[in-house]
Amino acid sequence: VQLQASGGGLVQPGGSLRLSCAASGSIFSSRSMSWYRQAPGEQRELVAFITSGGITNYADSVKGRFTISRDSSKNTVYLQMNSLKPEDTAVYYCNANIITTAAISSTYWGQGTLVTVSS
């Protein structure tokens, strides 16, 4: 199983970006899917997660600005980021708990996509 993240880039403060992360491989189903981020010199932190049933939760720092969603038929998770601030600058990683066709449940990470918020 592989997770491929995309959508990062350079954006001005107040701007928007949409991240995508697609899981591929021997997938039976995807359970919870999440986005984490890691700023330079900081620990990786949870930004948002979404369960297989669509329940979401967000870090306080992004509530009201970021929206996580998923397309389970495509095993893809999205992160819509609005009103971006310089402090949102980080490498963003997707994370998914997946049940493989061999009935094994494991957690996988994407490769990370850099988001830079700067004027």
How does pLDDT run along the chain (119 residues), one tens digit per residue?
899 999 999 999 999 999 999 998 888 888 999 999 999 999 999 999 999 999 999 999 999 999 999 998 899 999 999 999 999 999 999 999 988 888 888 999 999 999 999 99
Q: Which two tokens stand for residue 110?
A: 């994407």
Question: What's the token pair of residue 54?
Answer: 């669509």
Backbone angles phi, psi at 86, to 5 degrees: -55, -35
Do 78 and 18 form a contact (C-beta atoms < 8 A)?
Answer: yes
Please give the C-alpha separations between residue 26 and each of 6, 49, 75, 107, in angstroms, as whole numbers.
21, 22, 11, 14
3-state secondary structure of 13: coil
